[in-house]
């Protein structure tokens, strides 16, 4: 008996610590996860940030308001248009500019197209993370069409920089309406294809249902927003509660699921693509005539005070908080990025699951690291 005890004492059980990232296929960028695992089971997840910090908020204090718009492209690069819009809306509200209806409608249409493009990419990557590599190419095929539309209208495909305080950089291209309509018709046949390829798959459902559960209470206390929050039954769509641009002129349903698992977040995003298509359809036929830009001063000076504007990006609620002292630069500018709060819930969701669950859960958070780490 004594011998057995001594032998057992000689075997120390250690925690298996593993660095997932900053160079890892599943972290979609330079996110580093410090994992403590016991076999396949995850004991602890600690996200570590700072690998792509570019001090964007500090740079904003140096730049004029027109220049700040450029910087926001580089945050959440998959919803660059919506980021631009957030800053422009803040400035326009502070200056109390009257924005033409034409601008509002175009902004909303492009915003929804951006959302679809972002979700297409997410869908492809989601499939890839759970091991179905083919989805990636299907998602990119449809995203490509949207990028082509953007390229024609504003000259850029990713970092669009189409908004300026007071309106748009240029008017839309003459082909815009036709191509958007073509895309809507095309994409309506493709979402069912997505469902056939991935949603209905038994393995996919087994991998995602009941995995990475986030209850509504936890979702609220973690400050989660966007599709992640709505997958947990937390109704938090900024477009619904604080409509901006032309979003008060359209009717759409907020995609909401109550399960709070990975599959619920997946379904919310698929549903959101349908809703975005419906918003585009409502607006595309009657884009009002008018100016595409209001004349502003060459040097924009915001009145003294604090201004806040929030918008719904593809990942959730993006807030722009400006403190102005009446000069041409903001005294302080703070972005409330959706990804950061969403990532904070990862540890809570993934602990106790398997490594495969962590990857699937992380995929449905739809992390864009430059957005988290500004």
Partner 1 sequence: MRIPLSITDNIQEWLVSMMSESAASYVAMIIVALIYLGIFAIAGLFLVLIERRVAAWFQLRIGPNRVGFQGLLQTMADALKLVSKELTGTDRADKFLYNLAPYFVIISALMALGVMPFTKEFQAFDINIGIFFLIAISSIGVIGILLGGWASNNKFALIGAMRSGVQTISYELSVGLSLLTMILLTGSLQLSEIVEVQKGGWLIVQGHIPAIIAFMIYMIAGTAETNRAPFDMVEAESELGAGFHTEYSGMKFAYFFLAEFINMFLIAAIAATVFFGAWLSPFGITESIPWLGVFWFLAKTLVLVFLMMWFRWTFPRLRVDQLLTLEWKYLLPINLVNIVIMAFIVWQKLIIQI
- Chain residues binding partner 1 by CB under 8 A are 16, 18, 24-26, 40, 127-134, 136-138, 141, 197-198, 201, 203-204, 206-207, 354-357, 359
- Who contacts 101 (Cβ-Cβ below 8 Å, separation ≥6)? 246, 288, 290
Q: What is the DSSP string of 255-311?
A: P--SS-SHHHHHHHHHHHHHHHHHHHHHHHTTPPPS-SB----SS--PPSEEEEEEE
Closest approach of partner 1 to the CB of residue 164, in Å:
37
Q: Which is nearer to partner 1, 108 or 262 (CB)?
A: 262
Q: Which is nearer to partner 1, 338 or 353 (CB)?
A: 353
Closest approach of partner 1 to the CB of residue 353, in Å:
9
The DSSP symbol for 250 reads S
Q: Rounded distance, CA 356 to CA 241, Å?
A: 36
Q: Which is nearer to partner 1, 194 or 335 (CB)?
A: 194
Closest approach of partner 1 to the CB of residue 135, in Å:
9
Q: Which is nearer to partner 1, 48 or 281 (CB)?
A: 48
Crossing angle of helices 101-129 and 134-154, rounded to 10°: 160
Closest approach of partner 1 to the CB of residue 46, in Å:
16
Q: Which is nearer to partner 1, 190 or 242 (CB)?
A: 190
Residue 26 · residue 369 · CB < 8 Å: no
Taking phi over 0 as left and psi of -120 to 50 as alpha, with beta for the rest, 133 belongs to: alpha
CB half-sphere exposure, 355, CA atoms < 13 A:
15
Q: Which is nearer to partner 1, 110 or 130 (CB)?
A: 130
Closest approach of partner 1 to the CB of residue 371, in Å:
21
CB half-sphere exposure, 102, CA atoms < 13 A:
13
Q: Which is nearer to partner 1, 114 or 135 (CB)?
A: 135
- The token duo for 291 is 């100016």
- The token duo for 169 is 């950089």
Closest approach of partner 1 to the CB of residue 130, in Å:
4
3-state SS track over 300-317: CCCCCEEEEEEEECCCCE
Closest approach of partner 1 to the CB of residue 279, in Å:
28
């Amino acid at each position: 008996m004594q011998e057995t005890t001594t032998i057992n004492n000689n075997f120390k059980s250690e925690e298996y610590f593993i660095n997932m990232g900053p160079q890892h296929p599943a972290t979609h960028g330079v996110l580093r996860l410090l994992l403590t695992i016991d076999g396949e089971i995850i004991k602890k997840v600690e996200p570590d940030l700072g690998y792509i910090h570019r001090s964007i908020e500090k740079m904003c204090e140096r730049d004029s308001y027109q220049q700040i718009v450029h910087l926001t492209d580089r945050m959440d690069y998959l919803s660059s248009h919506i980021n631009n819009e957030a800053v422009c809306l803040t400035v326009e509200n502070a200056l109390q500019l009257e924005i033409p209806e034409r601008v509002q409608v175009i902004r909303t249409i492009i915003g929804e197209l951006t959302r679809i493009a972002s979700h297409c990419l997410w869908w492809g990557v989601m499939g890839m993370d759970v091991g179905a590599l083919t989805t990636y190419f299907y998602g990119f095929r449809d995203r490509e069409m949207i990028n082509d539309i953007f390229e024609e209208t504003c000259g850029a495909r990713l970092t669009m920089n189409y908004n300026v305080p007071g309106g748009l950089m240029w008017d839309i291209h003459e082909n815009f309406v036709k191509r958007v309509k073509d895309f809507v018709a095309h994409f309506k046949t493709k979402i069912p294809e997505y469902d056939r390829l991935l949603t209905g798959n038994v393995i996919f459902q087994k991998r995602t249902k009941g995995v990475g559960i986030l209850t509504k209470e936890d979702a609220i206390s973690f400050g989660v927003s966007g599709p992640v929050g709505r997958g947990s039954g937390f109704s938090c769509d900024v477009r619904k509660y604080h409509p901006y641009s032309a979003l008060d002129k359209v009717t759409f349903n907020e995609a909401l699921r109550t399960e709070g698992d990975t599959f619920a977040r997946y379904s919310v995003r698929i549903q959101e693509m349908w809703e975005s298509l419906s918003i585009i359809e409502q607006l595309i036929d009657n884009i009002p005539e008018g100016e595409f830009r209001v004349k502003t001063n060459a040097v924009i000076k915001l009145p003294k005070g604090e201004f806040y504007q929030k918008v719904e990006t593809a990942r959730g609620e993006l807030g722009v908080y400006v403190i102005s002292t009446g000069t041409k630069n903001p005294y302080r500018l703070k972005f409330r990025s959706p990804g950061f709060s969403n990532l904070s819930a990862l540890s809570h969701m993934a602990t106790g699951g398997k490594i495969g669950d962590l990857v699937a859960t992380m995929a449905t958070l739809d992390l864009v690291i430059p957005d988290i780490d500004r």
